[in-house]
């Protein structure tokens, strides 16, 4: 009997990536206070990479405790710029401020994935991508935020690379799936090895 695979995330792009790869899954969004967890970890001097991992694990654990028979995937993505962590912007002004800082600079996106089964962690991976933002004009950044606010408010850094945000960049080093917040190839590899999907 095939095990139930659950995505512990409300992210539409993660759901789309799994669906496009023909992975059968259910969605169960955990209720965790991400900002409180993040603030506590930052206060302890935790690295952005470890914060992404901790948040992904927290989501997977929460659903796995309720549904121990299922294979549960928790995910999180963080943006690291000069050792600082960027969160999702809460206002257009904040999105514009983030883009101003990143403009003409390099930053990293880290996409963490943790799989739980039976209330225990079974697998984890963190994909890292380096992005070079070109020098965009102030006028373009203003227009970009105004046009795209409804979409970019859900993204760290205030941009979506799969949409108009691609125009902000000159170079990307790393796996495109990690930019979208899901280390898909590694996840598919694990699911195939463990018989959750055929391979």
Catalytic residues: 76
Radius of gyration of the CA atoms of the chain, in A:
17
Check: CB of residue 184 under 8 Å from CB of residue 17: yes
From 128, 111, 95, 158, select the one nearest 9 (Cα to Cα).
111
Task: Collapse the DSSP code of 51 into the 3-class scheme (helix H, G, I; strand E, B; otherwise coil) and give the result.
Answer: helix
Strands 71-81 and 84-86: antiparallel
The CA angle 66-35-53, to the nearest 5 degrees, is 65
| Placement of tokens 């983030």 in the chain | 98
11: region left, alpha or beta (phi > 0 left; psi from -120 to 50 alpha): beta
């Amino acid at each position: 009997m095939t095990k139930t695979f659950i995505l512990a995330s409300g992210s539409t792009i993660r759901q789309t990536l799994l669906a496009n790869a023909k992975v059968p899954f259910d969605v169960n969004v955990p209720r965790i206070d991400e900002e409180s967890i993040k603030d506590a970890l930052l206060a302890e001097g935790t690295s952005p990479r470890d914060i992404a991992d901790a948040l992904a694990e927290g989501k997977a654990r929460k659903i796995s405790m309720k549904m121990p028979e299922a294979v549960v995937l928790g995910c999180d993505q963080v943006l690291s710029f000069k050792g600082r962590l960027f969160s999702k912007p809460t206002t257009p002004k904040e999105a514009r401020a983030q883009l101003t800082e990143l403009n003409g600079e390099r930053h990293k996106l880290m996409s963490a994935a943790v799989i739980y089964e039976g209330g225990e962690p079974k697998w984890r991976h963190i994909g890292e991508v380096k992005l070079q933002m070109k020098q965009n004009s102030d006028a373009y950044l203003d227009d970009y935020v105004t046009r795209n606010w409804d979409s970019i408010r859900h993204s760290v850094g205030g941009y979506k690379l799969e949409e108009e945000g691609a125009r902000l960049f000159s170079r990307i080093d790393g796996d495109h799936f990690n930019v979208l917040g899901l280390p898909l190839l590694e996840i598919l590899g694990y699911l195939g090895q463990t018989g959750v999907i055929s391979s």
